[in-house]
Structure 1
């Protein structure tokens, strides 16, 4: 059979675009024109948006209401235009002075739908990465505000009270309706408090780029309004059940001295108090100076007085509207204009912990005792920060590290200072110095731990010489410091997401991924890195291995160019002692690829020898057709390997669409992986991007078809029937190292581990219980041993086990931790053999 015939036989089905009729297009055009008239759109932006819509419609199927897609194309056209202002040469207005909320209202589109559709639009319209990043920041900023609003509602209702003569609701016809009565009502109090926070965080946006700092600023705003309510003696608005009330607050001669409520709501009280005394006071001073608010500047009271309240509320509304129009973002006042129950479709997914990556699950600590409770982003963030803050007492290299000598330490400090200057120049926050200080403290701790562990295994070498050798590696110190910065930024839930830290310090993903395993190994010692932060590092490592390290400008390609051909297989890189940087990198890539192949095969119900055969096809693409990975994604090559196996094996199912559907169930899945695949470079050097099916048919099959046919030994004869000979030998695939036992009690030696086959007890005193296998009496015996006579752990189906005496081990803690470990084990891909 000819090559063309083979390629046609192995080709994937092409999903065609929608058939566009003139009538349908005319109706859509009329909708678009009316939308632009309603928004008073300028002609150039209107033309740009329509041209973008037509281009996407030619190439993609746009399901659903066309008005939603018109909303997306018009927003993209507005956002990509900018208008200079009279403020200065560099000052511009983003979003073409079109209110995003007004655009959504005209299109009858919810914020939830917009957030979903605009991300799809970015993929379909092949919008530049800069625009995609802006959308991600926009989404993340709104997620932070939405998360804070939920906390705001909870805190506000604990402090303030709705008088009996008022209706407790906040649904307005307008976000900025005029109010004839100057007296502050409960609803208006809610309004002015939330608007004060919105204006405050936008007054100095560089100080509120993360969740923790924004929360502290919000508490400062609530604290100020609370003190103003006390000063006005509005006892009808105060919740009498609030613990923070002064003792004599209801008395006639009560004098409004400052009453700080930060300690009642802040887990990081000192940091919040510092913000109240500095940043927040500066913001309020500027508001008084610009007459954004009226009252007594010295003590910041009088904001709610009858003569000031209405104009303060109106002024804050006007100030916020001007800001929103200038940046083209969501009008976040909308959150206070509806009941919380009306936001059920919205979520704070952008702030939730990462889905557990497939690799290195064995390094994850057990779930905390309260892991089953509802995830609370602010509490999670503050806990992460406190975890790292435990090391902020370390302000210089440890005594152990200093043994390297003054000259080496001076060089080390010079490297750290250079990194600091880069960070301060690029991190857009007034908190940059404190963030770097915390990262540096953790760096000193990790450096000490890593060096001690490294040198402990080499007692025959001179200590000082080894210290000098390790500390003198610039790239080691730079990547370690960058990793600590990334951990701090993630702990605070900053708007800046990885790989920002690589761009900040000019580090390649190939170099950065080397340090992650080291940090996880030594950072999890004594629990200094919790489960959340370790999962974050594991996700970052996978991102480097799957995509970033394969960029065309990555140093890995220089190493590949000088390496013997073909590249080493997994079997070749399995030696720990002699492997170089490229071999170690490939070893990690192979493991990642194998785990994802297993996961996809399981979803697609491809059993028997299919995973091993697909693995061998995938491995061949890495070792022999390495350029397939350049500026591409590991998952793209894996999906193509699965499909070529299916076609060569003459299987009816699954289809390529089934593979993409199964891929979406993987923890790392994003739509752009199969929507945007590099096909080639144009004459001007710009990348030509296609969908994965086009890439498979026109790039992958020509390079891989012969190997796939020869390897699987399935050759079609002239009648179209397949002739199958004996299977070829299967290539060995990677396997993860065994998980270490995890201690789930503090005061007793109780561990949970995955038990290998034929495991035997190591000592006569050791007791083993196998979940789902051992009889209940074994668990009872273990309980008695831990407690000293009475059982502690149960299956939950025995009577009389619900009551525990004091001084006993906390039963729910044990069970949740054990279940978390077992759940992780059960979700790990199994060796099909």
Structure 2
């Protein structure tokens, strides 16, 4: 039971905290508290007492005046109604209900009641007008670009031009400030509507005269037809947009624009609140004055709020962003793959399930995904690069049998011309911008080319074969151009991938070969580029290359063979077998599940090349796997460093089966990537569904592989569609109680998931393609081609050979890193040569003795301190010698947990 005295003490404490937050003067606090003390014993104040305290403070503020230095009077006693509501936990509806009751209880005069009614009317008008403002703005101007994270710039750098989101805020601020200059607009909905259009018209004129084609919607009907044409000359008079928003009564709106509104704007110029051309009110958006104009309007409006105690209409902007964010989150939950193209946002692209090993450690700057940040990152990437070969690249060319420099230059020039021609047809950016992007792409492609060829020469000094492949140079240029276009993305769906390939008249089959090569060529690529290229690669592999007109089908025909099995093209250590009677389970090396990185020469060679490299690798693995070790002997006692690979089930070496000669060539490399992608997604799906049995997973994989190789189900369809069907059909024939809805629910958690994948599946290819949902596809199409094969897995006694699964392993940290002199940390992937010449110490779990570990421990801790068993990042960061260890640990956390 709480006593009355204790209750009063708590109330007084709450009141004082509230007045402190509002920074009220003592006389206002005294008046508000006395009023509250008088009312509380007489009436039952229901609800939160903080609400009633807020009402008492509001009345006290409106009943007191504060003279300023200029002898004017502030009616609101320097308090913002918005701040009062926020700190009192009051909504607007609650406030108006309770303040009216408070006015009745305290017997306020008629004038106060009218002020409350006027304030409520202003709020209603503001809400009504803002609902009209957003669609009006979107009709005039381009979709929003993000401005939440402004780029830091020093004083010498010029301020960047305003974006559409900044313009959205500026136009609304100009409107509410103009409205506050003449109180008659705040009470009249029609007059406010006219004033809003006048403000939009003024902002439109400023953007028009400044030729801000990045701001103005090219489809806005008031723009001249020639607006988007290169070389368009802006006339002396801008179009009037007022009439386009009125079917009737346009005269009043024109009158406000021509006679009332100019007086308000002229007054703001005279008071030096606005800067620009005071004669025709232009120049407001000039980068040199835009920020000062915005800040001056903001200050002017805040003074009005403190003076009048009015509702802060800027809160509608914050509410708009909040609602917009909720809609985007809901859309993202339904369409995760559209995260990089949502209107009004520029979120970092979702990280695909594959390609994460290339991301590297996350930096603070990686959280900023604004267009301005991406453009700056791109410019840093090509800093000090020229749009032609460097001296080092020219030297590489000269070492070829035939110098390819001129041929390559011609290829890039031809591609540039195609790009410029196709860009001019879109008319979304001017010629200057087109040329600028083409120049950036040329700088970037020469940089990538130099890095790739340097790497190629380390593998094979003779790169003449690659220099004869025009498809390599075409694809590399397209990749560079795609990076440039994506970095400058203004949410124009016309330029989204695969527009670049269409503009350059290239195929996805050739383009997909160069993506990983490009990523691996430059370890300085920003994360947003790596994520986007990984998404592009997945998008090609999952659906684009399976289009009926794809060059993939011609490549398969030319190879003279069927689509290869995963087992025939997988590299050693990248397969794991089921536990059926005739299958064995080989050792699995601890590598990433993404496909290994072939050289550019291997990737662009003929599609039907066979290679015995697998045998060489396999024999080398077996040579390192089975050294002569006596019982009790440490592996470290051998003269040569030895690595042991262990299975997941025990700690003993497992034999590796003799590897057959692996098929090679570009076609097999592409299918290796395809199977790796399918394996990662299947593993993720099975994990979410709780399908952990290896034999069940192998059955799903075997059915999926069969559907790809022996049916035409992938033609014009999507990888995920066949994968979900394979999961369902095996669950059905083996008696597992999973429904399609269960599978779809878990599928939606994958970063690439899209509801269209299971809602719109090709059923029958006619003149007009017949499409339906995934269940209808399963019943009408899938079952007819898979049923006979799938039923073989229903009999548990049937001895079937199951296809091996692709290895899916957690991501690991970066390659070998020196943390102290001659002390290295390196993720174990495959048997390799020693780090350095001289004595190398190794420790193998369950094989080496404790003395071996003690020797390593003593070597590292030369100062006598023991190596921390549990590497706590905070502790390590305090030890200078172990900062690299801390960085590696943090990097590993990011790589394994990154789901953006």
Match of 1:707 in 2: 789
Shift in alpha-carbon separation, 1:291–1:456, aligned structure 2, 3 A: same
CA distances 1:328-358 after superposition (whole Å, capped 9, x unpaired): xxxxxx9967343652243485322333222
Q: Residues 507-539 of structure 1, C-alpha deviation per residue, up to 9 Å, x if partnerless? A: 11111101112112212xxx3323332222121
Partner deviation per Cα, 1:781-800 (whole Å, 9 max, x = no partner): 989959988899896879x9
Larger RCO (alpha carbons 8 Å, 6+ apart): 1
Partner of 1:447: 449
Q: Structure 1 residues 510 and 786 mapped into 2: Cα distance closer, same or farther (>3 Å)? A: farther
Distance change >3 Å, CA 531–CA 352, structure 1 → 2? same
Please give the alpha-carbon distance, in whole angstroms, between the structure 2 residues aligned to 1:554 and 1:548. Answer: 8
State whether structure 2 residue 889 is matched by structure 1 residue 818: yes
1:742 is displaced (CA, Å) by: 3.0
The answer on 1:617 being equivalent to 2:595 is no
2:805 maps to which of 724, 727, 733: 733
Name 1:583's counterpart in structure 2. Answer: 668
Partner of 1:687: 769
Change (3 A) 1:172 1:424: closer
Question: Aligned residue for 1:673?
Answer: 757
1:549/1:306 CA distance change after superposition, 3 Å: same
Aligned with 1:420: secondary structure? helix
The answer to whether the 8 A contact 2:817-2:826 is kept is no
Distance 1:383 1:751, change over 3 A: farther
SS at match of 2:324: coil
Distance 1:691 1:745, change over 3 A: farther
Contact 1:365 1:530 in 2 (8 A): no
- 2:176–2:313: 8 Å Cα contact kept in structure 1? no
Q: Distance in 1 between matches of 2:487 and 2:855?
A: 41
2:776 paired with 1:697: no
Give matches, 1:324-723, under 5 Å.
338-340=316-318, 343-347=321-325, 349-350=339-340, 351-368=346-363, 370=364, 375=368, 377=370, 380-382=373-375, 384-390=377-383, 392-393=385-386, 395-396=388-389, 398-403=393-398, 404=400, 408-427=404-423, 428-429=428-429, 430-459=432-461, 463=462, 466-467=463-464, 469-495=465-491, 496-523=495-522, 527-564=523-560, 566-574=562-570, 577=611, 578-608=663-693, 609-625=695-711, 627-652=712-737, 654-682=738-766, 685-710=767-792, 712-714=793-795
Distance in 1 (alpha carbons) for counterparts of 2:732 and 2:786: 12
Structure 1 pair 542–182 and aligned structure 2 pair: CA distance change class (3 A): same
Deviation at 1:725, TM superposition (A): 1.6
Find the counterpart in structure 2 of residue 255 from structure 1.
none
**1:581 positional shift:** 2.7
Deviation at 1:487, TM superposition (A): 1.5
Q: Deviations over 1:556-604 (max 9, x none)?
A: 1123345556432111223773513322222211111111111100011
SS at match of 1:507: coil
- Cα distance, 1:393 vs structure 2: 3.5
Whether contact under 8 Å (1:171, 1:339) holds in the other structure is no
Distance 1:205 1:779 in 2: 69
User: 2-side partners of 1:779 and 1:315: how far apart?
Assistant: 79
Against the structure 1 CA distance between its residues 792 and 410, is the aligned structure 2 distance closer, same or farther, given a 3 Å change threshold?
A: same
Instruction: Give, in angstroms, the shift of residue 418 of structure 1.
Output: 1.0
Residue 62 (structure 1) aligns with: none
| Structure-1 separation of matches of 2:475 and 2:707 | 30
Q: How far apart are 1:431 and its partner, in Å?
A: 1.5
Over 3 Å counting, the alpha-carbon distance change for 1:592 and 1:291 in structure 2 is closer
Q: CA deviation at 1:392?
A: 2.6
Q: Which structure has the larger Rg?
A: 2
- Structure 1 residues 375, 313: CA separation in 2 closer, same or farther (over 3 Å shift)? farther
Question: Please, which runs of 5 or more residues in structure 2 have no aligned partner?
Answer: 1-124, 160-168, 184-194, 218-227, 241-256, 259-265, 286-311, 329-338, 341-345, 572-609, 612-662
1:689 alignment partner, SS class:
strand
Q: Where does residue 249 of structure 1 map in the other structure?
A: none
Q: Displacement of 1:200 after TM fit?
A: 3.0
Q: Is the 8 A contact 2:876 2:886 kept in 1?
A: no
State the SS of the aligned residue for 2:771. Answer: strand
1:383-425, Cα deviation, whole Å (9 max, x unpaired): 5224422353453353224415887322221211111111122
C-alpha distance in structure 1 between counterparts of 2:133 and 2:742, whole Å: 30
Indicate conservation of the 8 Å contact 1:551/1:630, yes or no. Answer: yes
Say which SS state the counterpart of residue 414 (structure 2) adopts. helix
Indicate conservation of the 8 Å contact 1:195/1:317, yes or no. no
Distance in 1, Cα, partners of 2:761 & 2:507: 22
In 2, the alpha carbon distance for the partners of 1:519 and 1:696 equals: 38
Q: 1:195 to 1:791 in 2, by over 3 A?
A: farther
Q: What's the C-alpha RMSD, in Å, of the aligned pairs?
A: 5.5
Report the alpha carbon displacement of residue 664 of structure 1 after superposing the two structures with TM.
0.7
Moved more, 577-586 or 480-489: 577-586
Distance (Å, rounded) in 1 between the aligned partners of 2:203 and 2:817: 46
Shift of 1:822: 4.0
Equivalent pair of 1:389/1:438 in contact (CA under 8 Å)? yes
Unaligned runs of 5+ in 1: 1-101, 115-136, 160-168, 211-278, 295-300, 320-333, 715-723, 829-833
Measured in 1, the distance between the counterparts of 2:728 and 2:798 equals: 22
Give the secondary-structure state (helix, strand or coil) at the position aligned to 2:478. helix
Are 2:271 and 1:200 aligned? Answer: no
Tell me the secondary structure at the aligned position of residue 404 of structure 2: helix
Displacement, 1:549?
Answer: 0.5
Task: Quote the offset at 1:181 in angstroms.
Answer: 3.7
CA-CA distance at 1:194 after TM superposition: 13
Deviations 1:739-774 (A, max 9, x none): 68436679877766544699999785668899xxx9
In 2, Cα distance between the equivalents of 1:388 and 1:153? 18
Distance in 2, matches of 1:794 and 1:540, equals 41
Q: Report the Cα distance in structure 1 between the residues aligned to 2:854 and 2:204, rounded to whole angstroms.
A: 54
Question: Take 1:751 and 1:198, find their aligned partners in 2: how far apart are those partners?
Answer: 63
CA distance in 2, matches of 1:787, 1:204: 68
Is the 1:366–1:744 contact (alpha carbons within 8 Å) kept by the matching residues of 2?
no
Change beyond 3 A, Cα 1:768–1:337: farther
1:586-632 CA distances to partner (integer Å, 9 max, x unpaired)? 2211111111111100011112122111000000001111x111111
**TM-score, normalised on structure 1?**
0.56
Q: Deviations over 1:55-80 (max 9, x none)?
A: xxxxxxxxxxxxxxxxxxxxxxxxxx
Superposed CA offset, 1:226-282 (max 9, x none): xxxxxxxxxxxxxxxxxxxxxxxxxxxxxxxxxxxxxxxxxxxxxxxxxxxxx9xx9
**Counterpart Cα distance in 1 of 2:409 and 2:353:** 37
